[in-house]
Chain A
């Protein structure tokens, strides 16, 4: 009897859905991530993979469009006053959090104060540190005052620092908020099983008219890249967030799979410890750099998944300089530098490498290329936590590790090359560079800013605190019945416009 009833229900659903199918966009999407997101609270998150889930759970005050330009988000419009030290945001009045509470100016104030609170120890604090005062001007108008003008401010509000969480939920849940996140994004949190899945469902009161289309989104972590790909081709997953370069051509020829590509925002290469011998010597660093054939590395390891790099500004971003050519491998010049440094027979170097397949392959290629000019590289494979520790404490000579990239060029430069930069693990100290970088944060004229970022390259080319090797492209793969997906340069999966066609 039960079975009959079930059959009846299934059949009637089938007829109903086939009638409505022509207009109805929906579906249940299963996304394979490269890791289990460690932290679902945007104000405490440090991992890139967290941001994939945040795109569905949270909204930002301002958003980035496909060209990585700032467009309105939760803030409809804004004025920058008092020489860039005061931002006045006009907020949308039709936004609700998933717990039913209203988003307003008080919520913005609460969120900023939460991130600035020492007790929370938020990684966002460094991005917002210049905030002196947040004023609620009216129900939907808020002003943020800065200590001094800071150009990248809006760009950081398009990312985790601009993600608004529900104040009511934070107050209720306290330390447990990350396990029951409440935002205002297109999907709301249902449940999570650590290392297994994160389930979200459509938020019916989402402020963007008619969106999202999908009924549910499930994120599943697959840390082994082969397993991730097999699960996609086998039909267990609808989409994967990170495609291993070696599988790219195979996936492209798979008839049931679509591959999307966007130029990325990040860079990969070699950290050079300028505080330590041997690479403290500019000539030795130059010799290493000149011995590396970037084209060959990209061809062998990455194929279409990356392009050779020569600066922190990938093609397609505002500061990219088309006229700069990627220098080819030059063993003669490398030898000259070695002679100049008084080491004509080369030198020994230890390179730290994280144990990912592509990193290992790249490191081995660099090792053999450098040996051609007499540089004897020893590879040191380290687990990520240990590598980070050594890098931060300056206890290394060189390290192969990159940066996922930010939409504003400031996010790809200041933190690495300014003496006071939070990520200056190269121990690079150059007063002229500091002055240039400080100025890029203050000037209002775009052309002037662009020139400053090009001036910076003169110093980086000479001193080589970092050897840029390649820019990874952002590649996503999904089943061909997944429609409406647009790739973005930041590599984040925006799912509000996506639906599954039956």
Chain B
């Protein structure tokens, strides 16, 4: 187990290295000049070139890359070209709101999808199965920003029982925080729930066909015990993969959801940095994002080993 985790951690190094090259090239290939955006259209050519020199943007790209990567290795993500704010400090200030959104969204999706998936699989062909399939298809087809707008319209404009958007830290006022977070979490959670529910249903159906389930049934075990103890646990592996993938894709969805609900999170920071061509902030943010995605994948893999010990054995005979 320890060795497996170590191996996986070791493999992160080349991946991260490639990621930094990719991030750096993409960011610098974007059309648009940060100096022009900072100084405005009226800036004289001298002022622009002065600022580019001050920001270090007139150096060859390779030099810029190695100076950035050198700083990153020392744990320094640099400073915003806009206002000299520390990139790492800003990122870690913005992360909690997005994390909260992710956790609540996943929680909502699990609460809906796992039971619904199990019931659909067990009662395959029933009215419940068909209607939940229909709802899930709807959920997959609707983009989360659209669901978000509908939710705001219903709960904030028509019923007026929830605030439309905004953010308050949970440490400041937990009640208010949850009031504000419930709609964005649902709009993200519903979409994730739809996918997870379909996965739960189909993988449980597959497992239910297996011989050992038949054996368990033949032994005379109660149906509940068979499903929950034997079938669900074994079908969770693929469901977990989907949840892990969703968590990675979530960061993309958060960008739009955070804009609609005016949550000052990580997603909006990234978008704003793109608009401002704030290269250090953008590079730092995407790097942290990449690290997060890789970490989530690692955690999912480690989770597998709990669900299926064969995985950590790596095919070795014990």
Contact = CB atoms under 8 A, between A and B. Distances in A.
Interface string A455-497: 0000000000000000000000000000000000000000000
A36 B47 contact: no
A388 interface: yes
A320 B12 CA distance: 66
A223 B82 contact: no
Contacts of B260: 224, 227
B40 interface: yes
A348 interface: no
Given A126-B44, A385-B37, A391-B41, A234 B157 contact: yes
B175 to A, nearest CB: 16
B41 A224 contact: no
Interface string B86-98: 0000100110000
Nearest to B35: A121
B123 to A, nearest CB: 41
Given A123-B42, A227-B262, A234-B156, A388 B85 contact: no
16 contacts: A39-B82, A118-B47, A121-B54, A175-B84, A176-B84, A178-B83, A178-B84, A179-B84, A193-B264, A222-B165, A222-B262, A226-B149, A227-B165, A234-B164, A386-B30, A389-B36
A128 B178 CA distance: 51
Give the interface residue-count category, chain B.
35 or more
A328 interface: no
B275 interface: yes
Given A36-B272, A195-B94, A224-B262, 7 more contacts: A39-B82, A126-B43, A126-B44, A195-B268, A222-B262, A227-B262, A236-B166
B157 A386 contact: no
B276 interface: yes
A183 interface: no
A409 interface: no
A194 B261 CA distance: 15
Contact of B152 (A196, A230, A391, A422): A230
A425 B33 contact: no
A335 interface: no
Contact of A196 (B44, B47, B261, B264): B264
Contacts of B38: 44, 46
A385 B36 CA distance: 9
A46 B39 contact: yes
- Interface residues of A toward B: which range? 35 or more
Nearest to B33: A389
Contacts of A175: 84
Nearest to B54: A121
A422 B84 CA distance: 27
A391 B277 CA distance: 17
Given A195-B269, A196-B264, A230 B44 contact: no
**Max chain B CB contacts within 10 Å: which of A44, A194, A383, A389?**
A194
Contacts of A123: 39-40, 42-43
A230 B156 contact: yes
Interface in A29-72: 36, 38-39, 44, 46
B37 to A, nearest CB: 6
A423 interface: yes
Contacts of A8: none
A218 to B, nearest CB: 11
A221 B37 CA distance: 19
B83 A39 contact: yes
Nearest to A221: B262
A255 B180 CA distance: 26
B165 A386 contact: no
Q: Which 4 pairs across A and B sit closest by C-beta, in order of nearness? A: A46-B40, A422-B42, A385-B32, A196-B264
A234 B262 contact: no
B51 interface: yes
A231 interface: yes
Interface string B262-276: 101000110010011
B264 A38 contact: no
A423 B42 contact: yes
Contacts of A196: 167, 264
Nearest to A46: B40
Interface string A1-42: 000000000000000000000000000000000001011000
A304 to B, nearest CB: 23
Nearest to A222: B262
A122 to B, nearest CB: 8
A392 B36 contact: yes
A386 B164 CA distance: 32
A494 B214 CA distance: 77
Nearest to B38: A46
A198 to B, nearest CB: 12
A46 B165 CA distance: 28
A449 interface: no
B50 A121 contact: yes
B6 to A, nearest CB: 38
B94 to A, nearest CB: 8
Nearest to A226: B149
B126 interface: no
Interface in B89-146: 90, 93-94
B158 to A, nearest CB: 11
Nearest to A176: B84
Contacts of B40: 46, 123
A123 B156 CA distance: 42
A202 interface: no
B164 A223 contact: no
Q: Which of A178, A196, A220, A422 has the most CB of B within 10 A?
A: A196
B50 A224 contact: no
B163 interface: yes
Contact of B43 (A39, A178, A231, A422): A422
B305 interface: no
The listed residue with most A CB atoms (<10 A of its CB), out of B32, B54, B276, is B32
A226 B150 CA distance: 12
A114 interface: no
A391 B83 CA distance: 25
A14 B100 CA distance: 37
A38 B277 CA distance: 12
B259 interface: yes
Contacts of A388: 32, 36-37, 41
A123 B40 CA distance: 7
A246 to B, nearest CB: 15
A423 B41 contact: yes
B314 interface: no
Interface in A158-202: 175-176, 178-179, 193-196
B275 A383 contact: yes
Contacts of A386: 30-32
B162 to A, nearest CB: 10
A294 interface: no
B272 A389 contact: no
Given A195-B264, A384-B275, A236 B164 contact: yes
A6 to B, nearest CB: 15
B157 A230 contact: yes
A163 B243 CA distance: 53
B50 A118 contact: yes
Contacts of B51: 121
Contact of B264 (A194, A231, A425): A194
Interface string A222-253: 11101100110110100000000000000000
